[in-house]
Amino acid sequence: MTSLKTGVALIICSPSGGGKSTLISRLIRDFSNFSFSVSYTTRKPRPDEKHGREYYFVDRAEFEGLIDKHFFAEWAEVHANYYGTPLQAGLDLLRSGRDTIFDVDVQGAEQLRKNLQDSISIFILPPSRQILEQRLTKRGSDDERELAVRLEAARQELIRADEFDYWVLNRDLERAYEDLKSIYLAEKCRSVRNRELLRKVLRTWEK
């Protein structure tokens, strides 16, 4: 297990359609010290996605070659596509003092917790099956069969939500964001992350 002494590692997970990407985008917008760990995937990019920004889009042969090289901190096959988080890039960001967001599924979160000591894991909860189905349908990217697969996957992921440090209910986006932001700010104030602050205060008593 790798010991981290610098940036905060936030592992954020939710079922597809749970609003995770929107919440992450707002955190990155509002806090300049955040970096986003860009994952690799074999799925095709959506029209508004760019290689190297949302994901590194690669083919299966290249992805499997990276698995063999132990390149990933975590990887999984989800909905017939590979997804993986590069280990060294994430460690480099954290060691440089950058707070870093890892956008993963529940399998990835489990592996990342083993590789990143002192990481904070957050699960974004949808308010109900019905609302999640409405959100996925409105997105318009899945046919009826794919929608059923995503809803069943969401149920399986929710069963494992108690493995996470925090839950954020995304019924109302503004409230969910305030909850997520509060978790981050509280974690920034943990004594274990601020040893130098205490030393600086104590030095003011020195003669």
CB 90 within 8 A of CB 117: no
| Cα–Cα distances in angstroms (integers) from residue 70 to residues 66, 88, 98, 204, in the given order | 6, 10, 23, 47
User: Residue 114's pLDDT is what?
Assistant: 87
pLDDT, position 5: 53
Strands (E), 108-165: 120-125
The maximal CA–CA distance of the chain, rounded, in angstroms, is: 73
d(CA 170, CA 141): 21
Which residues lie closer than 8 Å to 45 by C-beta, 6 or more apart?
51, 54, 55, 57
Between these two residues, 79 and 38, which has the higher pLDDT value?
A: 38
Closest CA to 40 of 85, 73, 10: 85
pLDDT the model gives residue 3: 43
Report the C-alpha gap between 122 and 140 in whole angstroms: 27
Supply the pLDDT for residue 117: 78
pLDDT tens, position by position, 102-150: 999 898 899 899 888 789 999 999 999 999 999 999 877 678 888 998 8
Helix (H, G, I), strand (E, B) or coil at 146: helix
Counting residues of the chain whose pLDDT is more than 70, the rounded percentage is 97
For 83, the enclosing helix (H) or strand (E) is strand 81-86
Confidence class for position 195, pLDDT limits 50, 70, 90: confident
Distance CA 14, CA 157 (A): 8
Place of tokens 């017939």: 80
Tokens of residue 204, six digits: 């003011």
pTM given for the model: 0.84
- The pLDDT assigned to 2 comes to 44
pLDDT in tens, 51-84: 999 899 999 999 999 999 999 999 988 878 999 9
Mean pLDDT of the chain: 91
CATH code reported for the domain at 9-37+99-203: 3.40.50.300
Lookup: tokens for 150:
């995503």
Backbone φ, ψ for residue 86 (5° rounding): -65, 130
Cβ–Cβ under 8 Å, residues 37 and 90? yes
Mean pLDDT of the region 175-193:
94
Contact of 180 with 21, CB cutoff 8 Å = no
> Do the beta carbons of residue 119 and residue 164 sit within 8 Å?
no
Calculate helix-pair angle for 144-159, 129-139, nearest 10 degrees: 140
Q: Are the CB atoms for 124 and 176 separated by under 8 Å?
A: yes
